[in-house]
């Protein structure tokens, strides 16, 4: 197969930032994706329905003429979140998910949740109205090794939470381990899991062997090879539980190439080409559409996009090494191998 046409894809986990960065990176996503779940970890975070409405307006204002893109908004869960405000923002159609960041887990998460008991009321309300919780699934305690933080979170936080509030729809975001894959598979229809493009390509050696590669550092951090293989098997399986969330997370180069470099890989530009490469390698191109365009909308109770996207195989693909935003240059994810897939048009 050297050409494939799929339903226009969506990105179920995307960081667009704000201001000059938003303006610079938004076209990279809007070019290929119909919709995206927009992460709320701005500074300050998007906590209320009013803040989400204002952020959505800023995103649409930054969209270049002639591009179509539907930002699906989320709220950043805090211990002060008002269940009524959440329910209103959901009922109006504005907000499609609420995001749980354990406090301190990742970029701009210090305002996240320290004690889950303090948000039980909000979570119970979300279960009643069918509003999904997107979960950054890592514990943050210093005694847990960073490579174990996802697996420990599943056992000590996620599973108890889902048992306590059984109807709650949960997306395990950017899973990075075979434990994450196994837990997602074992769940019922209230459970979904997103997988990023870069976690299908990187293991931890890519970050650390032969010199530290700041542009491969993201959270959750890439794990051992066996975990990457488990993620590949899950993503390419076609199973409805798994769908694409790129977690494309732009940081300017000055903050990536730094003594204390920010976490995040910027994959908006070449995700679809890289996924075609990965799915072809796995002999699974017929399942690409389920992963990028069908499973996510089904989980969120939305129709698939009306348009299509065509990928074809040709010369070795070249894409810009950096996106030059007015906030500064942002390095585009380099898979480290040649890719022959292109997006038509
Ligand atoms: C994200 C960011 O930069 O906002 N970084 C990352 O490494 N993925 C935050 C996140 O999703 O954890
Ligand atoms: Zn993210």
* Domains of the chain with CATH codes: 3-343 (3.20.20.140)
The ligand minimizing its distance to the Cα of 250 is 1
Are the C-beta atoms of 55 and 62 separated by less than 8 Å?
no
Q: What is the CA radius of gyration of the chain?
A: 19
| Residue in the block written with tokens 């908006």 | 268
Residues 242-293: tens digit of each pLDDT: 999 999 999 999 999 999 999 999 999 999 999 999 999 999 999 999 999 9
Residue 286 C-alpha from the chain's centroid? 22
Q: Are 249 and 240 in contact (CB under 8 A)?
A: no
* pLDDT number for residue 319: 96
Q: CB of 264 closer than 6 A to ligand 1? A: yes
In sequence order, what are the beta bridge partners of 11?
Answer: 36
Shortest-distance ligand to the CA of residue 39: 2
Structure tokens at 97: 């998910």
Q: Tell how far CA 207 is from the center of its chain.
A: 20
**Cα dist. 141→105, 235, 245, 262, 338 in Å?**
9, 29, 26, 19, 39
- Please report the atom of ligand 1 found closest to the CA of residue 263: 7
Using the mean position of ligand 1's atoms as its centre, give its distance from the Cα of residue 2 in Å.
34
For the chain, count helices (H), then strands (E). 13, 13
Query: Which ligand is the nearest neighbour of the Cα of 218?
Result: 1
- What spacing in Å lies between the alpha carbon of 260 and ligand 2's midpoint? 18
What is the spatial distance between Cα 342 and Cα 344, in angstroms, rounded to a whole number?
A: 6
Please state, in angstroms and rounded to a whole number, the distance separating the CA atoms of residues 174 and 40: 16
Q: Which atom of ligand 1 is nearest to the CA of 196?
A: 8
pLDDT tens over the chain, length 345 residues: 899 999 999 999 999 999 999 999 999 999 999 999 999 999 999 999 999 999 999 999 999 999 999 999 999 999 999 999 999 999 999 999 999 999 988 888 889 999 999 999 999 999 999 999 999 999 999 999 999 999 999 999 999 999 999 999 999 999 999 999 999 999 999 999 999 999 999 999 999 999 999 999 999 999 999 999 999 999 999 999 999 999 999 999 999 999 999 999 999 999 999 999 999 999 999 999 999 999 999 999 999 999 999 999 999 999 999 999 999 999 999 999 999 999 998
Nearest CA to 31 among 61, 68, 72?
Answer: 68
Backbone torsions φ then ψ of 131, nearest 5 degrees: -90, 120
Cα(71)–Cα(60) distance, integer angstroms: 8
Active site residues: 247
Q: Which residue has the tokens 């459970």?
A: 191
Task: Check residue 107 and give its pLDDT.
Answer: 84
Nearest CA to 277 out of 266, 269, 285, 286 is that of 285
- Pocket flag, ligand 1, residue 173 (CB < 6 Å): no
Contact in structure between 248 and 11 (CB atoms under 8 Å)? yes
For residue 53, give Cα distances in angstroms to 59, 108, 139, 275: 10, 20, 30, 32
- C-alpha of residue 249 to centroid of ligand 1, in Å: 6
Taking the whole predicted model, whether its pTM rises above 0.95 is answered as yes
Give the whole-angstrom CA distance, residue 57 versus residue 199: 31
Of all protein residues, the one whose alpha carbon is nearest to atom 11 of ligand 1 is: 247
Closest ligand 1 atom, residue 108 Cα: 4
Q: Which atom of ligand 1 is nearest to the CA of 262?
A: 3
Residue 280 CA to residue 318 CA, distance in Å, equals 19
Q: How far is the CA of 190 from the centre of ligand 2 (A)?
A: 21
CA dist 243 and 191 (Å) reads: 12
Distance separating alpha carbons of residues 75 and 43, to the nearest angstrom: 13
Q: Is 37 in the pocket of ligand 1 (CB under 6 A)?
A: no
Pocket flag, ligand 1, residue 263 (CB < 6 Å): yes
pLDDT of residue 106: 85
Q: Is 41 in the pocket of ligand 1 (CB under 6 A)?
A: yes
What is the CA(236)–ligand 1 centre distance, in A?
24
Cβ of 247 less than 6 Å from ligand 1: yes
Q: 10 Å Cβ neighbour count for 340?
A: 15
Mutate to test the pocket of ligand 1, among 202, 249, 250, 327 (most ligand atoms within 8 A of CB): 249
Q: What does the alpha-carbon distance between residue 276 and residue 272 come to, in Å, rounded to a whole number? A: 6
Alpha-carbon distances of 298 from 29, 121, 136, 292, 327, rounded to whole Å: 21, 26, 21, 11, 36
Of 216, 251, 263, the one to substitute when testing ligand 1's pocket (max ligand atoms within 8 A of C-beta) is 263
Rounded Cα–Cα distance for residues 318 and 332 (Å) = 11
Residue nearest to atom 5 of ligand 1 (CA): 264
Answer left, alpha or beta for residue 81, where phi above 0 means left and psi between -120 and 50 means alpha: beta
């Amino acid at each position: 197969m050297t050409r494939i046409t799929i339903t226009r894809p969506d990105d179920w986990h995307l960081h667009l930032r704000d201001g000059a960065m938003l303006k610079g990176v938004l076209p990279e996503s809007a070019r290929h994706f119909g919709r995206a779940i927009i992460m709320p970890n701005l500074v300050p975070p998007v906590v209320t329905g009013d803040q989400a409405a204002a952020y959505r307006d800023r995103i649409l204002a930054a969209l270049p003429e002639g591009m179509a893109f539907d930002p699906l908004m989320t709220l950043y869960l805090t211990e002060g979140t008002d269940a009524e405000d959440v329910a209103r923002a959901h009922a109006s159609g504005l907000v499609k998910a609420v995001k749980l960041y354990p406090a301190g887990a990742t970029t701009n998460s210090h305002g996240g949740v320290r004690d889950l008991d303090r948000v039980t009321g909000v979570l119970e309300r979300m279960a009643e109205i069918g509003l999904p919780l997107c979960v950054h699934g890592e514990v943050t305690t210093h005694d847990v090794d960073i490579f174990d933080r996802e697996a420990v979170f599943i056992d000590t936080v996620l599973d108890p939470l889902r048992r306590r509030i059984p109807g709650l729809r949960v997306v395990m975001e950017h899973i990075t381990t075979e434990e994450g894959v196994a837990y997602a598979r074992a769940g019922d229809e209230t459970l979904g899991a997103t997988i990023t493009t870069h976690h299908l390509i990187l293991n931890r050696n890519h970050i650390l062997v032969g010199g530290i590669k700041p542009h491969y550092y993201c959270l959750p951090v890439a794990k051992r090879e066996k975990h990457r293989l488990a993620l590949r098997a899950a993503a390419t399986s076609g199973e409805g539980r798994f769908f694409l969330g790129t977690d494309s997370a732009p940081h300017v180069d000055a903050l990536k190439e730094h003594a204390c470099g920010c976490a995040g890989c910027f994959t908006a530009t070449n995700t679809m080409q890289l996924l075609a490469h990965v799915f072809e390698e796995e002999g699974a191109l017929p399942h690409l559409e389920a992963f990028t365009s069908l499973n996510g909308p089904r989980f969120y109770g939305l129709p698939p996009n009306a348009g299509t996207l065509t990928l074809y195989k040709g010369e070795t693909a070249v894409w810009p090494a950096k996106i030059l935003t007015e906030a500064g240059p942002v390095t585009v994810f380099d898979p480290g191998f040649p890719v022959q897939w292109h997006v038509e048009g």
